[in-house]
Chain A
Amino acid sequence: MQTLVINYIGRFLILVIIQIFVLNNIQISGYINPFLYVFFILILPFDTPKNLLLVLAFVLGLTIDMFSDTPGMHTSATVFMAFMRPGVIRAISIKKDFESKSFPGLHNMDASWIATYSFIMIFLHHTVLFFLEIFSLNDFFSTIWRSLLSSLITLVLVFISFLLESKPKSRR
């Protein structure tokens, strides 16, 4: 249990640092931004208490907000994403119950499940985030397009992270 908590604290710090110092400085073709930090919410264990899930998302979003001058936006988007997580997992899984303390990863789920799960969650997060940033429905389609493109870039990064996560397991 303790190692699990320490593991997740480590992931939290690493993801926040990567997001702030590397990814926040990257833009592809002007205004597409990857937000890898949502990986932390994606990889939390299946049996995480739902309320804890929300609180963790809140802390994560607030941390990112503090460092990127975007008051409340990331917080709101990340909390929304965490709120949707149990529903999304239920909707796309065939197997209804998971081993306790197991977390989503390539070692226990097939790649297509991981891809669908990640994409839905990331797209929900990015859509909320970009609409909060623009804060109008004027450029509705351009905003949707922008969140879709950013989601795809984030998805690639998230998938790479899943691959890195599963590596030590397979060696053992």
Chain B
Amino acid sequence: MRNLLNFIVKHQFFFIFLGLQVIAFTILFQNNYYHRSFFVNSANHLTGGLYSKYADVSDYFHLKDINQQLVEENKTLIQQTPYSYLKTDQQVFQHEDTIYKRQYEYVNARVINNSVNRRNNYITLDKGQTYGIEQDMGVITPKGVIGIVKDVSENFSSVLSLLHRDVRISAKIKKNEHIGTILWDMPDYRKVTMQDIPPHVEVLAGDTIITSGYSNIFPEGILIGTVEDYQVRSGESFLTLEVELFEDFNNLTHVYVVKNFYGKEQDLLEFHSRTEPVYW
């Protein structure tokens, strides 16, 4: 025992090194799970607060682009209002609209931290639980899919960027509705890969890719990007498409968080029918 203690004291430098490495690795592995600890997370209070101060300043540099984007968005919205349609029918109908119920609600938020150059990228938003943001909500912009909310604190939320190893999004080719999976291969942050398209499907460069709406995270028809190249990779039987994103992830400033009122219901139903044994 004494010898052991002597040994440890003699080589204390090495043992302290070992101890600190063990702590570092514990943090690393703990945080690989879906729930990242509160400890090292930019959604936590101190770091989140600092980042929002920083964003307050840097936002001014984007004002011009943001205005441009808002004008574009307003234009499309105005085009959809009844006022921009000419009435050609003189008869007037009025009826209670009970066919439609609101399924999606959008919360606007500001990006206060973002990266594109790591293997796993995260985005921090300046709104949290107080605005009704919850885990697993989708994050979008008018130009495309951004990511999925992972952790929420009172005033901030941390988002898994589309540029993250664990993010897979169900998408489809707009013209023929064939579905596949979007994921990100290193290293170009302007391009993602779409997999699992059967080889008989006709694809052309320039085809638009949109979300499929199969998962309850994103509504159907959110833009993602255009096909740039397609091939059957050696050893695979499915097509792999190279998709160029519409959104430039390097200058994100304002995003929308999507709240799906019927998401839980769909989840629960799907979970039951997949896990409960069937007897007949």
The interface of chain A, by Cβ under 8 A from chain B, is 21, 24, 27, 30-31, 33, 50-51, 54-55, 57-58, 61-62, 65-73, 75-76, 79-80, 83, 86, 132-134, 139
Does residue B261 face the partner (Cβ distance < 8 Å to A)?
A: no
Q: Does B42 contact A (CB under 8 A)?
A: yes
Majority DSSP secondary structure for residues of B touching A: mixed
Find the A residue at minimum CB distance from B50: A67
A57: B residues at CB distance < 8 A: 20
Q: Is B12 an interface residue (CB 8 A)?
A: yes
A71 to B124, CA, bound (A): 15
Q: Which residues of B contact A62 (CB under 8 A)?
A: 40
A79-B117 contact given A31-B186, A66-B40, A72-B31, CB 8 Å threshold: no
CB of B192 to closest CB in A, whole Å = 15
Q: Which of B24, B31, B124, B158 touches A79 (beta carbons < 8 Å)?
A: B24
Residues of B within 8 A of A69 (CB): 40-42, 113, 115, 122, 124, 158
Q: Which 4 pairs across A and B sit closest by C-beta, in order of nearness?
A: A72-B28, A71-B31, A72-B27, A76-B24
Interface-centre pick from B24, B25, B46 (highest chain A CB count, 10 A): B24
Would A54 and B40 count as touching, CB distance under 8 A? no
Known: A51-B13, A58-B20, A133-B119; 16 extra A-B contacts, CB below 8 A, are A31-B117, A54-B20, A57-B20, A65-B40, A66-B42, A67-B47, A67-B50, A68-B42, A69-B113, A69-B115, A70-B118, A71-B27, A71-B30, A75-B20, A79-B20, A79-B21
Interface centre among B17, B31, B36, B188 (most CB of A within 10 A): B17
Using C-beta atoms within 8 Å of the partner chain, give the interface range for chain B.
35 or more
Whether A71 pairs with B17 at a CB distance below 8 angstroms is no
Binding site for A on B (CB under 8 A): 12-14, 16-17, 20-21, 23-32, 36-37, 39-42, 44, 46-47, 50, 54, 113, 115-120, 122, 124, 158, 186-189
CA distance A37 to B189 in the complex (A): 25
- B28-A83 in contact (CB<8A): no
Can you list 12 A-B pairs, Cβ within 8 angstroms, ordered by A?
A30-B187, A30-B189, A31-B187, A65-B40, A69-B124, A72-B25, A72-B26, A72-B40, A75-B27, A79-B17, A133-B120, A139-B186
A62 to B21 alpha-carbon distance, docked (Å): 12
User: Which residues of chain B come closer than 8 Å to A66, judged between CB atoms?
Assistant: 39-42, 44, 46-47
